[in-house]
Each structure stands twice: as structure tokens, then as C-alpha cells.
Amino acid sequence: MRKPYVPGKGEDGRAWAIGPFRVVGRRPKTAVSLPGFSPRMQTPQNLWQGFVWLLAWWIAVGPTGLLAGPLDNWAYRAKIGINNAGGTETLTDFPLLVSLNASNFDFAKAKPDGTDLRFTTPTGTLLSYEIEKWDPANRTGIVWVKVPQIDPGSAAGYIQMYFGNPTAPDGQNVADVWSNGYVGVWHLGGSGTAADSTGNYPGTINGTGVLTTAGIIGDARSFAGDGSRITASGTGLNIGDNLSITYWMKGAASNQPGGYTRVISKNTDAVYGWEYQRGGADAHQYIRIDTSAGNNQVRSIGTNAFDGNWHFLGTTISSGTVRGYLDGSSSTTNTYSPGGGFANTEALTIGARVGGGNPFRGLIDEVRISNVVRSPAWMNAEYRSQSGQMAGVGTTQLVSGLVAEYSHEDPLNRTADTSGHGHQATAVNGVTFITPPSTGGFAAGLETTVARFYRPSNQYLDLPASLLNPLSGGLDQSQGFTFTALVYNDGSSDDFRTILSSNRFRFQRSTGGVYRLDVKNTSGTQTAATGAGVFQDQTWYFVALRYDAAGNLAQAYLLPSTGVLAGPMLSMTPNEALTNLSALRIGS
């Protein structure tokens, strides 16, 4: 008879694949209590969208006892993929746009105002975010998240979004989202005063021709071209050099009320400054810079920007060099005579020249000013983020009770607990992390990296003692638990394959592909139960082991990608309750 795992002792065997792995420590209230499961039947493929497989594991444990994790009371999670494949440099503290709509988010699962949203790094560090717009009736959410690091040339980065906590306080930290060199950020949504998300310089509406309308990102402001405008003033806007500006505009040359249309201005003929102007009656956008070394220094920024379509425009001005960006393209570089700079105390004016002259007719959205010179890669990333090319919202997962997770997606620490609860695993005897060789019907949840266990080398993941200690935010064993995973056998031999083991039990595939649970009492007496399910070689399966401490009942489930959750394949009533686990291993 196969012996339960004894800490410090290994076993032989061949290659064995185990995919995303969970442990849930909630006392079951339904016939099946698994994260990602509801009491109704579901297909395993749908349950596992967004997770890592093959010889990969992850674990969830909850509730967590006396020291709860920061997100234990959140019911749902979705992975936000970050595509920076076109990026050429590392982006630090980047404000990433996350757009939610009916196709990627169920607004009924969040608070009516969305303030239960939380965002984390893959390892669980909370991130600052701002909700620009939340409209559940029309299934629209616009959120900005400050991401600590986005790697260049990579489409594998991600953050996590949590929601589904009706008692959660507002978690926004708006000012911190924009603390990386931004002195003014006007989303131009809402009505009335144009709020500045940095909290410094709200915009005042001048005239009756500034209205709220649908924009390129949430809402924008329309300008009637009658001199109505938005103005903002303050010391931080009086920048004389090393300046970056970005904005979106939609206007047609043929619809402008006059020539030399000003879209944004911080200039008059009497002071040095800068402003965006149309080239007379043409359709091109220019920037004009006035300094003590030269007035009316006009430089090209965007060809055919006044063609009636939305365009992203950006400019950096620094020490005699001005670079212009149109829709994320490579910069147009020119020089100017900087003199003593272009600082002034005139109001920043959106929609016309300072004072209302040369007004613009059209739409303006997402105006930003920074007191740092943004790089071409940063400007391109802002365009890609704001145009919806950078962030993708993954499938919603039920994660109530999640306190540990091993996704293997962190390249710096493949055994990190990506739930953020700090239960880091240890790879023993050379566990390798590879790209899955197949999807096996679970393609919707496949990620990029999985862990591979080779049993002749006794490879395994050793899970920390904190995972079994409620005082350390781990499992309260008196409430029961659930383990779930995806598993795959390479077929090299018909030997035992351990999925999960402890000092009290071994959960495994036995010879002939039979599903098996061995339980050892504290006295050493051993019992075993086998299930009707049979593992086929080179096939992915969803597996689960559930222990109901209240009823002292262990149940196991085995389903292929085309199966439905109908009932357990294996049931056992242990002679002694499984409430004194002292060690856990994956794969051995």
C-alpha cells in the first residue's frame, strides 16, 4: 500500500505535470465548495480561465484565521494583462488605463460606485488607482492604475484586479497615481469644473460653450468655438523649460471659426510662453514658442491633425529641442532658441488662446502636463495605453478565501505566493519551470510558465509552515479545506504520481490511472479510497480534494476539460479528523 508522505522522505517515479493549485480553508456550505465553483454544474475549462498549468501549481487557503490577508473579503478577481511588446524601455510608475465594459466585466459583482476595486502586483502589493468614470447602467468603467514597472518588449506582464466586497471603503489614491512628474491631469469628464487629478489646479469654465460629451477615454469636453474655454492657474504650471504636454483632440479644419486656431495656450503677445496653433487655415498642428531669444518660433507637431478624427498629440520642450508626437509615432524633432525660457504666470487655457482669442471648435480629452521630459518610449506607451492597446481584462474568477497562490509567472521568483499573503514555496531537487507543451482543452486559462516535476529526482514544492498556521495568516484547519489543481501525466511510466501530500494524507494517481487518497491516523493505521475516475496519459485534468471538517468527510473530483461538476469521484470518512496537518508538499 502506498504510504502517506513523511516529511524529509521522497519517492521515485517519472515526469508529472500539475497545474494551478488551490487550497481553500472555508467550512463548506454547499455540496461543493471550491474557489471558481458555484453550486451549479460548470465545465472545468470555464473554471480555470486565467491560470497557469502543466507541472504548475497554485494554492488558495481561507479563511485565514486571526491574521487575515488584505484581500480576504473580496469575492472576485480578474487578471489585467499588459502588452508592452512594442516598448523599448522599462516604464516606471506608469499610469495604465484599464477600460471596463459589458464584454469584460460584470458590474453587478462590484459596488454601485466601483470603490471596492483593488489592484495588486502579481505578488500582491496594493497599487494606487483612480476611477475616472463609473457608469454601471451603461456598463462603462474608466480606471487609471499606477504600475510600478512595465518591462520593455514584453506581453507577459500583468496586474490583478479584485472586486466584490460590498463593505469595502473607497480604495482610491488619486494623487499618488499622478505623482510621477505630472503637475496637471485633466480628464475633462464630469460637468462643471474640470478636475485636476493631481489635486493642484482645477480648471474653471469660462463661457457657455464648453459642454460634456463622449470622448476617446470616457467623457471629454466640446468647445463651441465662441471663445468659451477652460483655464487653470498656479505656480506649478509656470514652467520655463523641461516640459511635456499630451492631449487628445478631434476637430476639422473646415469647421474652425477662424485661422491659427489655438487648442491649448499659455502665451500672449506680451509675454514669453507656448501654445498649440493651427497653421493658418491648413489642417496641421504646430507649437509656437516665444522666448527672449526669439518670438513666434513655430514648429510642426502633427500633420493633418485637424482632419475631423481623434488624434493623440504630445510635445516635449527642453533646452532648445522640441519633439512632437502624433498618435504614438516617432517624434518630429526641431530646435528653437531657448533664451531665458518661457515661464509666465498667465493661465493655462484649453480651447482658445489666453483671453479667448483664436478659439477652437471641436473636442478635447485627457490633457496632461509634466515638469519632466518624457522619453519617446514613454510618449508612445501613453498613446498605446490611452488608445486601449496596452491593457486587457481577463476572465473573472471567484477567489473568496484566497490566501496563497503559486502561478510561477514572476520571473524573479517562480515559487512566489502571488496572492500577496507571503506564503512563499520552495522548489526542492531541481524543479524546472517551462512553457506548457500543450493546452489539452484548457487553453482559456493557459499562461506562459509552469512547473515540471521529475520524480526520479524527487522534485517537489515545499509549502511553508505559515500556510498551516492561522496566526500567520494561514489555514484554520478546524474549518476544513479544499485543494484544486490541473494535472498532466507524460505517460513515461505507469507508476504512482503524487498530487499533494502531508503528514496525514497522500492524494495521488496510482497505477492504472486510478484516482486515490491514502489517509494515515496518528497511530499509524492507514486507510485508502480509490475513485472511479481514470487518468489518461498526456491529458489535462481538473482535480480537487475537499475536506469538510464539520462532517469529517473527504471528497475528491476528477474532470477532463469537457466534463461537468456533477459529484465526487471519491469519498472517505477518515477515522480521525484531518485537522492536524503539519506539512504540505506538491508533487512528491
Task: Kindly tell me the burial class for residue 153, based on how many C-beta atoms sit within 10 Å of its own C-beta (0-12, 13-18, 19 or more).
Answer: exposed
Same domain membership, residue 308 and residue 168? no
Question: Does the pLDDT of residue 491 top 60, yes or no?
Answer: yes
Closest CA to 229 of 186, 264, 184, 268: 264
| Residue 214 forms part of a structural domain | yes
Least confident of 7-11, 240-244, 315-319: 7-11
More confident residue, 232 or 586: 232
Stretch 522-550: mean pLDDT: 82
Looking at residues 23-29, what average pLDDT do you find?
38
Residue range 560-576: mean pLDDT, rounded: 84
> Looking at the domain assignment, is residue 2 inside a domain?
no
Residue for cell digits 508533487? 587
Tell which wins on pLDDT, 301 or 475: 301
Check residue 50 and give its pLDDT.
26
The grid coordinates listed for 447 are 499562461
Q: How many domains does the chain have?
A: 3
Question: Is the CB of residue 347 less than 8 Å from the CB of residue 232?
Answer: yes
Is omega for the bond preceding 63 within 30 degrees of 0, making it cis? Answer: yes
Whether the predicted pLDDT of 143 surpasses 80: yes
- Same domain? For 569 and 532 the reply is yes
User: Residue 9 domain-assigned?
Assistant: no
- pLDDT, tens digit (0-9, with 9 covering 90-100), for 226-283: 999 999 999 999 999 999 999 999 999 999 999 999 999 999 999 999 999 999 999 9
Same domain as 517, residue 451: yes
Indicate the helix (H) or strand (E) that contains 384.
helix 376-386
Indicate if 429 and 556 belong to the same structural domain. Answer: yes
Query: Which is more confident, 12 or 118?
Result: 118
Q: pLDDT tens digits, residue range 148-170?
A: 999 999 998 999 999 999 999 99
CA separation for the pair 290, 268 (Å, rounded): 9
pLDDT > 90 fraction of the chain, expressed in percent and rounded:
59
How many Cα atoms occupy the beta-carbon half-sphere of 499 within 13 Å? 36
- Kindly state the average pLDDT of the residues 2-28: 43
Residue 209, C-alpha cell as written in the block: 460653450
Q: Determine which of 8-12, 25-29, 297-301, 503-507 has the lowest per-residue pLDDT on average.
A: 25-29
User: Is residue 395 in some structural domain?
Assistant: no
Residue 211 inside a domain? The answer is: yes
Instruction: Supply the mean pLDDT for the chain.
Output: 84
31-40, 369-378, 420-429: range with highest mean pLDDT = 369-378
pLDDT tens digits, 111-121: 999 999 999 99
Q: Inform me whether the pLDDT recorded for 34 exceeds 60.
A: no
Q: Is the pLDDT of residue 56 over 60?
A: no
The pLDDT value given to residue 587: 85
Q: Is residue 375 in some structural domain?
A: no
DSSP character for 288? Answer: E
Q: Cell numbers 502531508 correspond to what residue?
A: 502
Looking up residue 548, the CATH number of its domain turns out to be 2.60.120
494 and 426 together in one domain: yes
pLDDT for 439 equals: 65
Residues 427 and 553 in one domain: yes
Looking at the structure, tell me whether residues 439 and 554 fall in a common domain.
yes
> Using H for helix, E for strand and C for coil, what is the string for 95-125?
EEEEEEECCCCCHHHCCCCCCCCEEECCCCC
Which of 129, 152, 179 terminates a domain? The answer is 179
Is 190 found in the same domain as 152? no
- pLDDT (tens digit per residue) in 322-349: 999 999 888 899 999 999 999 999 999 9
Residue 440 banded pLDDT, cuts 50, 70, 90: low
- Residue 149, beta-bridge partner list: 92
Q: Is 86 left (phi over 0), alpha (psi -120 to 50) or beta?
A: alpha
Q: Which of 155, 179, 203 is the last residue of a domain?
A: 179
Digit-coded pLDDT (tens) for 359-370: 999 999 999 999
Whether residue 90 sits in one domain with residue 56? no
Whether the Cβ atoms of residue 504 and residue 4 lie closer than 8 Å to each other: yes
Q: Which of 343, 367, 391 is the last residue of a domain?
A: 367
Choice between 562 and 33, residue whose per-residue pLDDT is larger? 562
Report how far residue 214's alpha carbon sits from residue 221's, in angstroms, rounded to the nearest whole number.
8
CA distance 386 to 185: 13
Lowest-confidence pick of 3-7, 143-147, 333-337: 3-7
Say what the pLDDT of residue 5 is: 40
CA 460 to chain CA mean position, Å: 29
Report the DSSP pairing between strands 361-370 and 243-252: antiparallel
Give percent above pLDDT 70 in the chain: 86
d(Cα 357, Cα 255) in Å, to the nearest integer?
16
> 139 and 31, same structural domain?
no
Banded pLDDT at 523 (limits 50, 70, 90) = confident
Residue 341's domain is classified under what CATH number?
2.60.120.200
Identify which has the larger pLDDT, 207 or 524.
Answer: 207
Indicate the range of 225-229, 366-370, 426-430, 432-436 predicted with least confidence.
Answer: 432-436
Determine the pLDDT at residue 528: 86
Q: Give domain status of residue 136, yes or no.
A: yes
Flag the least confident range among 43-57, 89-103, 386-400, 437-451.
Answer: 43-57
The answer to whether residue 268 is domain-embedded is yes
Residues 173 and 201 in one domain: no
The residue segments making up the domain with residue 503 are 15-71+411-586
Same domain, 98 and 142: yes
